[in-house]
Structures are given as structure tokens and as C-alpha cells.
Amino acid sequence: MLAVQQLRKSFVGPDGARVPVVAVPEFQLAAGEQLALRGESGSGKTTFLHLIAGILAADAGRVEIDGVEMTALGEPARDRLRAEKLGYIFQTFNLLQGFTVLENVLLGMSFGPRGADRAHARAVLERVGLGHRLGHFPRQLSTGQQQRVAVARALANRPRLVLADEPTGNLDTRHAGEALALIREVCREQGAGLLLVSHDEGVLSQFTLRRDFAELNQAVREARP
Amino acid sequence: MTLPLIVYRSLRQHALSTLITAGGIALAAGLLMTVWRVKVESQAAFTQTSAGFDAVLGARGSKLQLVLNAIFHLEASPGNVAAADAEAIRRHPMVKAAIPIAVGDNLRGFRLVGTVPELFSSVEFAPGRKYVLEAGGRLFSIDAREAVAGSFAAQRLGLRVGSVFRPFHGLNFDPKAEHAEEFTVTGILAPTNTPADRVIWLPLRGIQTMAGHDPKAATDVSAVLLQLRTPTAGFMLDMLYNKQGNRLTFAFPVGAIMAELFGKISWFDRVLELVAYLVALVAAGSVLASIYNSMSARQRDLAILRALGARRRTVFGAVLAEAAVIGALGALAGLAVHFALYVGVAGLIRAQTGVVLTPWAFHAVLVVCPLAMTALCALGGIVPALKAYRTPVAETIAPVS
Ligand SMILES: Nc1ncnc2c1ncn2[C@@H]1O[C@H](COP(=O)(O)OP(=O)(O)OP(=O)(O)O)[C@@H](O)[C@H]1O
Ligand SMILES: [Mg+2]
């Protein structure tokens, strides 16, 4: 489903030297699998997910999603692949503030091959318990509700893989637990794989499949003397 | 449905700047269309106004002044034409009709023009249209102190059949210069939409014999309006009066003389046009600036859209479309601005000259200008659209930890 090989990314540091942030020799995730990556702040988790999603260009390496080698594609094709196969849940939700709940979800679908399907968008929002908030704007929702919109948006295009970047980081413990359960349930229902990154042990402990990002990412080890 | 939704929401989100920018465009487009139409249509209206005459014979002087005075009832009369000269041109074999007029008095700013009944019985002031009296009126008798009022003058002065008035001396109203003679209105003319609507017509003798007018000039007229039998007659009479003679001026053809006037003031049109173009350019620039300024705020939204799978060219198109929509909204509102302005200008021109412009007529500029304005704004949108195109998704979307 997801296969990563020799993936490298470095940034130019303040002193002008290149600082390696991601160096992952090998990583795989099977279809429908749910895996959590544990990593400290600044260890390159977000960068890793950006590379997988193709919104950041890697310096080297391969990312293969559902049999398609994304790193070999041109940008428009990568955009299409992302719209078609991936769902992304951001730590800060990244909802579009000027758009209603329903429109946020519709936009999540509209760039994919199936296009914006109102009935499906409604159904997904019903599923996350927001059927009565379709016309609300994000600022009119509680943080937990905004998070559920983000979940609905990521799943509305029936993705093969959901990338979740500390999806519960902005929620208190009780809501975080509920939100996480929801994400996992919905992914399971839709047959989507889930790759989640977090440094929250409470979140990580819910997963049977867990890995240490520091172990996976050689750049972290290289950075340590 | 995606692109319209994105554009619509973005416009809503920046409603105030959308409104202000579109308002600026509306003013610019309205001004541009108005300047253009006033120029083209007033020129057409003035050069086509001839009151049905081919030429004017008057005292030696400027042809333009002669035409303005005799046809448009504006400006002072350049001087008098002796009765013998008027009679000579009337009898000229190439002249179909010769209508003498005499000016020199007014009624509260509206001109009194002395003339002969033939003007009303035999002259078509426009093809197929003769002067018509409103029901209940009759023409003045040539020897009586009677008057027939043009529709606009009658309406403004409240004249009715049976109204009695005393003229004032001179072409400009001076309350102290009232004549003793009393004239009775015997008829009101139906509107002609020509300068004649502003005139109160008297029998020729009425003006000539007004107390206080020079008795020696009592048989003179101010000008003679002429219909010619053939256009060649105009060139022959031009030779006769203007080149060989030196006492009189023969103004022919009437339309060409007005066209010359517009030629002389064309620099003014060009300045006005230039100003209007500059305003349009500034308006398009304001679209650029207003969208560009809000770019940093919307770059995050655009990056989110990209992360959802939107392509670069989609976000480029969204910003471009937004600029074009602002332009189109402004241009549409500009049509309203234009009609408001044009109705005002046309009213002013009508009140001042009697020449009628028709605001509701269609003119190509009413389509071309809004389209051009929209295109110009879209062009201005290219700059912020490029910025949207270049937005780096990962950096914009996630603040670096
Ligand atoms: N665009 C960039 N330019 C330069 N350096 C960057 C850029 N993006 C990330 N970095 C650096 O890369 C490193 C990893 O960043 P990243 O956001 O991936 O960490 P993270 O593991 O997601 O941290 P957190 O848990 O705090 O979210 C950081 O040291 C960061 O400063
Ligand atoms: Mg992060």
C-alpha cells in the first residue's frame, strides 16, 4: 500500500549548512493497516508526512502509494494522486475558515476523480456526528467539532491512506480519546490505512502497531553526536 | 462548481475590499462610457441639427457664430442683413426657401425670435416632420403682438395660450430692460427635440418695431435661413458671398461648420479620454493591489486547497477569476453609474442648447467597455495569481516547529 525507500530531505539551516531532517531507508504499511509513529518534537515527523503526501519534494528516494511511484510523477499527476488516494488530518485542522462545514468537506472531494458529491459529504458528516452543523462556519464550532470536520474532510474522498499529524494535539484528554477512536473506526469502515504521528503516549498506546520514528529516521540519529 | 464556490467565498470573506474595489471600477467604467458617448453622440447630434436648412446667410463674420445664432439660438448675432439683401437671396433661382429671422430680445433668458409664418407652414425641421401647434393654439398673425412658444420655453416659463408677457431687451435677461409692448401667446408648439423648443417665436415685425430698437434698422433681419435646390448651389453662393462679396457671410453646409467646431475642441475630448483611460488603469491597478494585499492572508487557504489535491493552475485560476469577477461586478455597476451620469449630462445639454441626446439608446461602448474593464482587471489579477501559483504548500500549511 505505502512503500518508502531511501527517502531523504534536508533543509538549509540558519548558518547556511544543509541539515538533514528525514533519512528513511525503508518503511512500509499494508493496505488498511493502522500504525502510529512516536517521535519527539522537531524529529521530522511532519516533514515525513509532507513527503509522503507529495506536498514537499524529496531530495532523493521513492514513495509508492497503491502501486504508483509518486516520486516519479510530475506535479499535476502528484496532485491528482493526492486528491484521489490520500486523506490528510492536520494537527491544526487547517479548515478553510471562509467555507461552511459542508463546503470544507465538498472541497476535500472535488479535486478527486469522483468530484464533489453532496449526498456522500452529508453522509460522512452524519457519520462524525455533525449532520446538524452543515451550514456552520468553522469558527462557530468547538475545537472538538472542528476536529471532526477535519476527519470528515480527510475521509470524504474515500482515500486508501489517511495521514494524521498529531490529530488530537489540540484536544483535551477525554476528547482526544473520542476523536482518536472515531478516526480509527471510520478508517476501518472505509478500508483506509492510517499512518498517525504523535508524541502523546496516551494516543500511541491505543495502537497495536507502533514504531519509534527516531529508529526509523536515520537523520535523527545522525543529528545526535 | 468548485471554482465558483472558491471565488464566491473568497469575495465574501473580503467583502469590504471587494465592494470598495468594485466601486472604484464602477466609477471608472461609468466615467469612461459617459465620456465616450457624450463625445460621439453630442457630436452626431450637433452636426445633424440643421433645423431643416442647408445654409445661413448673415452679416460678415464667423460662420460658426452665424450657425450657432441662427440654428442653435445660442451666441450673439454677428450683425444684421439689410432688407434688400434678404429679398435678393429669397428671389435667387437656386434658393428653394428663405426664412428670415430677427433676434435681440428675450423673455427671462429664453430667446424671442422674429420670423415669418412660412417657417411653420412649409419647413420640415427634420425629414418628414413639420412644426405642429398643440391643440387649442393658432399661429401668430404677422401684424399682431402675438407669439408662439416652443415647448421647453413654454413649460419653463409657464406660458399658456392667452398668456400675456412683456419682452426684455437683449439676448441675456436683465430685469431692468423690460419693453413696454405686451404680447399674447396664441399657441404652443409640440416638442421637436431641437433647439427650437427653447424659442418663443414672434412675427418678424414684432421684433423689428419694438420700441427702443433702432428705427433705421427696422427692416433689417439678423439672418436668413436657406434651403437650396441643389448642393452645387451652395458652392456657387459660397463663391458669390464669401469670395467675391465682402458684406455678408454665407454659412454652408450647416453640419460641416459644426463639425469644424468639434474639430477645434477635439483636444479637449482627447484630454478627457486620456483622463478616463487613466482612471480605468488605476481602477484595474486597485484590483491588483487589493487582491495582492490580501494574498498573505489567503495563501494559507490556497495551500490547504493544494494539500486537498488542487493543482497549481486551479489556484491560479481561482485568483484570476476572482479579479475578473470583481472587474465584471464593477463594470456592471458602472453601467448604472454611466446611465445616471449620462442622464444628467444629457439634461444639461438639453437645457443649455435644446439638443437632445437619448440616454437609453444602445451604443457599442456599453458592451465593449465592461468587457474590456473585466479583461483589464483579470490582467491585474495575474500578479497575485502568480503568487498563488508559487505558494509553497508544506511551508505555508504547517508552521515550522
Ligand atoms: N521549511 C523548512 N525550512 C527549514 N527548516 C525546516 C523547514 N521545515 C522544517 N524544518 C526543520 O526540520 C525539523 C523537523 O521539523 P518537523 O516539523 O518535521 O518536526 P516534527 O517532528 O513534526 O515536530 P513537532 O512534533 O514539533 O511537530 C525542525 O528542526 C525544523 O526546524
Ligand atoms: Mg509536526
Q: Which of B12, B310, B394 sits opposite A79 (nearest CB)?
A: B310
Q: Which of B300, B308, B311 sits opposite A107 (nearest CB)?
A: B308
User: Which residues, in sequence order, are CB contacts of B57 under 8 Å at separation 6+?
Assistant: B81, B85, B86, B89, B223, B224, B226, B241, B248, B249, B250, B251
For residues B369 and B351, state if they share a domain.
Answer: yes
Residue with the nearest Cα to atom 25 of ligand 1? A41
Alpha-helical segments (H) within B200-245? 204-208, 231-238
For residues B121 and B236, state if they share a domain.
Answer: yes
Q: In the predicted model, what is the mean pLDDT of residues A19-29?
A: 93
Q: b/e map of A2-18 (b: 16 or more CB within 10 Å)? A: bbbbebbbbeeeeeeee
The model's pTM: 0.82
Q: Is B159 left (phi over 0), alpha (psi -120 to 50) or beta?
A: beta
Answer whether residue B260 is part of any domain: no
- The amino acid occupying position B282 is V
More confident residue, B401 or A195: A195
Q: Do B10 and A76 touch (CB under 8 A)?
A: no
The pLDDT of residue A119 is 94
pLDDT in tens, A176-208: 888 899 899 999 998 999 999 998 888 899 999
For residues B272 and B377, state if they share a domain.
Answer: yes
Residues of A in contact with B297 (CB under 8 A): none
Give φ, ψ of A71 to 5 degrees.
-65, -15
Q: Do A94 and B397 touch (CB under 8 A)?
A: yes
Q: How many domains in chain B?
A: 2
With CA atoms as reference, report the closest residue to B255 among B39, B36, B41, B45.
B45
Q: How far is CA B91 from the centre of its chain?
A: 37
Residues of B in contact with A90 (CB under 8 A): 397-398
Q: Is pLDDT of B182 > 50?
A: yes
Mean residue pLDDT of chain A comes to 91
Q: Which of A21, A24, A56 to mutate to test the pocket of ligand 1 (most atoms within 8 A of CB)?
A: A21
Question: Strands, DSSP E only, in chain A?
Answer: 2-12, 18-29, 34-38, 60-65, 68-69, 86-89, 161-165, 193-198, 210-212
3 state DSSP class of B181: coil
Question: Strands, DSSP E only, in B242-399?
Answer: 248-251
Q: In terms of residue numbers, what domain contains B204?
A: 55-252
Taking the CA of residue B329 and the nearest CA in chain A, the distance in Å comes to: 21
Q: Is pLDDT of B193 > 90?
A: no
3 state DSSP class of B83: helix
The DSSP element (H or E) to which B27 belongs, if any, is: helix B15-48
Q: Which of B9, B12, B306 sits opposite A55 (nearest CB)?
A: B306
Answer whether residue B293 is part of any domain: yes
Q: Is pLDDT of B218 > 80?
A: no
Q: Which residues partner with A38 through β-bridges?
A: A198, A212
Answer whether residue B181 is part of any domain: yes
Q: In the predicted model, what is the mean pLDDT of residues B318-325?
A: 94
Q: How many domains in chain A?
A: 1
Q: Do B307 and A108 touch (CB under 8 A)?
A: no
Taking the CA of residue B303 and the nearest CA in chain A, the distance in Å comes to: 9
For residues B150 and B213, state if they share a domain.
Answer: yes
The CATH number of the domain holding residue A26 is 3.40.50.300
For residues B96 and B134, state if they share a domain.
Answer: yes
Answer whether residue B185 is part of any domain: yes
3 state DSSP class of A31: coil
**How far apart (Å, rounded) are the C-alpha atoms in residues B11 and B2?**
14
The DSSP element (H or E) to which B11 belongs, if any, is: helix B2-13
Write the burial class of residue B94 (CB in 10 Å: 0-12 exposed, 13-18 middle, 19+ buried).
Answer: middle
For residues B39 and B69, state if they share a domain.
Answer: no
Residues of B in contact with A84 (CB under 8 A): 309
Residues of chain A whose beta carbon is less than 8 angstroms from a beta carbon of chain B are 41-42, 46-47, 50, 53, 55-56, 75-76, 79-80, 82-84, 86, 88, 90-92, 94-99, 103, 106-108, 110-112, 116, 153, 157, 165
The DSSP call for residue B175 is: G
Mean residue pLDDT of chain B comes to 90
Q: Which of B309, B394, B399 sits opposite A111 (nearest CB)?
A: B309
Of B228, B252, B276, at which residue does a domain stop? B252
Closest ligand (CA of B396):
1
**How far apart (Å, rounded) are the C-alpha atoms in residues B296 and B399?**
14
Q: In the predicted model, what is the mean pLDDT of residues B8-36?
A: 91
Q: In the predicted model, what is the mean pLDDT of residues B167-188?
A: 90
Confidence of residue B401 (pLDDT cuts 50, 70, 90): very low
Cβ-contact B228, B55 below 8 angstroms: yes
Cβ-contact A180, A168 below 8 angstroms: yes
Confidence of residue B46 (pLDDT cuts 50, 70, 90): confident
Confidence of residue A222 (pLDDT cuts 50, 70, 90): low
Span from the CA of A199 to the centroid of ligand 2 (angstroms): 10
Of B230, B252, B274, at which residue does a domain stop? B252
Span from the CA of A8 to the centroid of ligand 2 (angstroms): 17
The pLDDT of residue B326 is 93
Taking the CA of residue A96 and the nearest CA in chain B, the distance in Å comes to: 6
For residues B359 and B379, state if they share a domain.
Answer: yes
Interface mutation target, options A111, A117, A158, chain B, most CBs of B under 10 Å: A111
Residue of A nearest to B310 (CA): A111
The pLDDT of residue B93 is 92
The pLDDT of residue B42 is 87
Q: In the predicted model, what is the mean pLDDT of residues A42-63?
A: 93
Say whether the ipTM exceeds 0.95. no
Q: In terms of residue numbers, what domain contains A180?
A: 2-223
Q: Do B12 and A91 touch (CB under 8 A)?
A: no
Q: In the predicted model, what is the mean pLDDT of residues B306-333?
A: 94
**How far apart (Å, rounded) are the C-alpha atoms in residues B102 and B111?**
10
For residues B68 and B213, state if they share a domain.
Answer: yes
Span from the CA of A46 to the centroid of ligand 1 (angstroms): 7
The pLDDT of residue A99 is 95
Q: Which residues partner with B59 through β-bridges?
A: B248
Q: Is pLDDT of B399 > 90?
A: no
Residue B291 CA: distances (Å) to CA of B191, B378, B381: 52, 11, 7
Cβ-contact B219, B80 below 8 angstroms: no
pLDDT in tens, A106-153: 998 999 888 889 999 999 999 889 999 999 999 999 988 999 999 999
Residues of chain B whose beta carbon is less than 8 angstroms from a beta carbon of chain A are 1-2, 5-6, 9-10, 12-13, 300-301, 304-314, 393-394, 397-399, 401
**How far apart (Å, rounded) are the C-alpha atoms in residues B165 and B167?**
6
Give φ, ψ of B339 to 5 degrees.
-65, -40
For residues B220 and B285, state if they share a domain.
Answer: no
For residues B13 and B74, state if they share a domain.
Answer: no
Q: Is pLDDT of A221 > 70?
A: no
Q: Do B309 and A83 touch (CB under 8 A)?
A: yes
Q: Is pLDDT of A225 > 60?
A: no
Q: In the predicted model, what is the mean pLDDT of residues A63-92?
A: 92
The DSSP element (H or E) to which A1 belongs, if any, is: none
Residue B180 CA: distances (Å) to CA of A109, B144, B162, B212: 90, 15, 18, 10
Span from the CA of A139 to the centroid of ligand 2 (angstroms): 23
Q: Do B301 and A96 touch (CB under 8 A)?
A: yes
For residues B328 and B236, state if they share a domain.
Answer: no
Answer whether residue B258 is part of any domain: no
The pLDDT of residue B283 is 85
Taking the CA of residue B28 and the nearest CA in chain A, the distance in Å comes to: 30
For residues B303 and B199, state if they share a domain.
Answer: no
3 state DSSP class of B52: coil
The pLDDT of residue B210 is 78
**How far apart (Å, rounded) are the C-alpha atoms in residues B28 and B34?**
10
Q: Is B165 left (phi over 0), alpha (psi -120 to 50) or beta?
A: beta
Of B196, B222, B252, at which residue does a domain stop? B252
pLDDT in tens, B239-268: 989 988 888 999 989 888 888 888 888 888
